[in-house]
Amino acid sequence: MQYLYRNQIREIHVEPTSRCNLACPQCARTFKGKGQAELPLQDIDHEIYAKLFSRELCARLDHVYFCGNYGDPVAAINLLDEISFLRAQGVPRISVFSNGSLRTPEWWQELGKLLSAPEDKVAFSIDGLESTNHLYRVNANWEKIMANCQAFIRAGGRARWDWLVFAHNEAQVEEARELSRRLGFVQFNVKSTARFASDQSYKSGKPESAAKTRAGDIEPGENKNVKQFSSVVARFGSWTNYINQTRIKCKYQGIGALYLDFEGDLWPCCWTGAAKYFISPNTQRDQLEKLYARYGRGFNSLYKLSLDEVLAHPWFSGELAASWQANMDAAVPKLLACGRTCGADYEFTGMIGTSNSSIEDLTSEANLIR
Ligand SMILES: C[S@@+](CC[C@H](N)C(=O)[O-])C[C@H]1O[C@@H](n2cnc3c(N)ncnc32)[C@H](O)[C@@H]1O
C-alpha cells in the first residue's frame, strides 16, 4: 500500500534547523548535558522550500508547521523569509513551536504580524514558572521568554502555552494557567511525557526513574505513561513483543501528513526519521541504518529527488506499510518508532488530540487554533 499519494497531502511538518540554544536533558540533541557532537548544525536551504512548496501543492495544504526533533525553529536564520514565502504560495495556516527564549521582542513582533491568518499560532514550550522552567529547559531565559511572548501577542499573534509536566512543576500548573490567561494566550496545553521510557527501558522493560541534568535529576512525578509502559510490558511479556504484535494505525497517514527534516530528507513522520543522530547503540538508530543499507542514504532527499520521486520510492510506495505486518528484525523492519507511536495500546506522542495532551481554551478566539 502506498503511504500517501500526492493528492492526499494536507499537512507538512518542517524542521527548519538543527540549531537550538537549550540543552533539554530528554532532547535527542543533548548528550551528557551538551550538544551531541555528531549532530550537524544547519538550516534547510530556500532551494528545498521552493522545490517542495509549489503553488499547486500549497493550494491543497491545510497546514504547515515548524517544529522538529533537534532544533528550535526560531534559531533558523531564514524563518521569517520562509514563512512569508509559504504565505505567498498560498498556505492557509502556519504554526511555529518554540522555547521562546531566542531573538528579540522586535523579531517576535514581526512574527506576530506575519502569522495573521485566523488559525495561525505559536506554541510556546514553557515547562515551568520563573523558578522551574530552566530545570528541564536548561539555559532558557525567563525574562526573554516573557518579553518575547508578549511582543508576539501584542502584535496580534495567537499563542498557546505548552506545559510538560514533571515532578518539579506539577504543583504550579494552575498558577501558570492563570498567568497564561493574563498574558493573553488563547490556549493552555498540559502535556505528559513518554520519555522516561528510554532505549534502555525498551530492552529492560523498566522505565527510567529520572533524567540527569548538571543541576540534578528531573523526575516524572504523576506520569501516566510510566504506568502505561509497565502495563504494556507486563501484558505482552516484553516491549519487543508489543512492538512486533501491535496493530499500526498511522497517525500521519491518517492526517495526510509528511515530515521534512533539517537535512532536506522527507519522512512519513517526525518519529520515523528521528533516530538519524541518536547516540549509538540504539535500537531505532540500528533500524534506520538497516534501511540506509538497503536503500542508500539520500533515498528520501529533496536535495537529490523531487517529491514525486520520493513518494514513488519502494519504501513509500509499499514496503513501509508492509513492514507494519512484519517484525522488528525483518529485512524491511517494522520500526520501533511505528509500533511505539502508532500502536494500539500505548500513547507516546503529546500531539493534540491524544491522551497526553489536555488543552483548555482561554478565550473565545481559542477555537480558531485547534
Ligand atoms: C524538540 S522540540 C522542537 C521545537 C522547540 N524547540 C520546542 O521546544 O517547542 C519538539 C517538541 O518536543 C517537545 N518535547 C521536548 N521535550 C520533551 C519531553 N521530554 N517529552 C515530550 N515532549 C517533549 C517540545 O515541547 C516540542 O513540542
Residues 37-46: tens digit of each pLDDT: 999 999 999 9
Gap between the Cα atoms of 343 and 229, Å rounded: 12
| Amino acid at site 251 | K
CA-nearest residue, atom 23 of ligand 1: 193
The yes-or-no verdict on residue 256 having pLDDT over 80 is yes
Quote the pLDDT of residue 351.
92
CA-nearest residue, atom 18 of ligand 1: 193
- Specify the ligand 1 atom closest to the Cα of 356: 21
Q: What is the pLDDT of residues 168-214, one digit of tens each?
A: 999 999 999 999 999 999 999 999 999 999 999 999 999 999 999 98
Quote the pLDDT of residue 366.
61
Q: How far is the CA of 28 from the centre of ligand 1 (A)?
A: 10
Q: What is the pLDDT of residues 7-27, one digit of tens each?
A: 999 999 999 999 999 999 999
CA-nearest residue, atom 21 of ligand 1: 193
**Burial profile 24-43: b = 16 or more Cβ within 10 angstroms, e = fewer:** bbbbbbbbeeebeeebeeeb
User: CB atoms < 10 A from the CB of 280, how many?
Assistant: 11
CA-nearest residue, atom 12 of ligand 1: 69
Q: How far is the CA of 65 from the centre of ligand 1 (A)?
A: 14
CA-nearest residue, atom 24 of ligand 1: 125
- Specify the ligand 1 atom closest to the Cα of 70: 1
pLDDT bracket for residue 136 (50, 70, 90) = very high
Q: How far is the CA of 22 from the centre of ligand 1 (A)?
A: 11
- Specify the ligand 1 atom closest to the Cα of 24: 16
- Specify the ligand 1 atom closest to the Cα of 22: 6
Residue to substitute in 125, 188, 208 for testing ligand 1 pocket (most ligand atoms within 8 angstroms of CB): 125
User: Please, what is the average pLDDT of the chain?
Assistant: 96
Q: How far is the CA of 308 from the centre of ligand 1 (A)?
A: 30
Quote the pLDDT of residue 368.
54
Q: What is the pLDDT of residues 264-302, one digit of tens each?
A: 999 999 999 999 999 999 999 999 999 999 999 999 999
Quote the pLDDT of residue 215.
86
Gap between the Cα atoms of 58 and 117, Å rounded: 15
**Order of strands, sheet of 159-164, starting from the edge strand that comes earlier in the sequence:** 266-267, 257-260, 11-14, 63-66, 94-98, 121-125, 159-164, 187-191, 357-361
Quote the pLDDT of residue 370.
47
Q: Give the pairing type, strands 159-164 and 187-191.
A: parallel
Gap between the Cα atoms of 171 and 192, Å rounded: 14
Residue to substitute in 164, 219, 278 for testing ligand 1 pocket (most ligand atoms within 8 angstroms of CB): 164
Gap between the Cα atoms of 193 and 204, Å rounded: 19
Which residues form ligand 1's pocket by a CB distance below 6 Å?
A: 20, 24, 26-27, 67-69, 72, 97-99, 125, 162, 164, 193, 195, 350
Quote the pLDDT of residue 363.
85
Q: How far is the CA of 30 from the centre of ligand 1 (A)?
A: 12
Per cent of the chain over pLDDT 70 is 98
pLDDT bracket for residue 369 (50, 70, 90) = low
Residues in the chain: 370
Q: Which residues touch 276 (CB under 8 Å, ≥6 apart)? A: 261, 263, 265, 285, 288
> In what helix (H) or strand (E) does residue 86 lie, and over which residues does it extend?
helix 79-89
Q: How far is CA 147 from the centre of its chain?
A: 25
Q: How far is the CA of 250 from the centre of ligand 1 (A)?
A: 21
Q: How far is the CA of 194 from the centre of ligand 1 (A)?
A: 11
Q: What is the pLDDT of residues 61-97, one digit of tens each?
A: 999 999 999 999 999 999 999 999 999 999 999 999 9
**Residue corresponding to grid cell 501543492:** 57
Phi, psi of 259 (to 5 degrees): -125, 130
Q: How far is the CA of 337 from the centre of ligand 1 (A)?
A: 16
- Specify the ligand 1 atom closest to the Cα of 67: 4
Gap between the Cα atoms of 164 and 180, Å rounded: 15
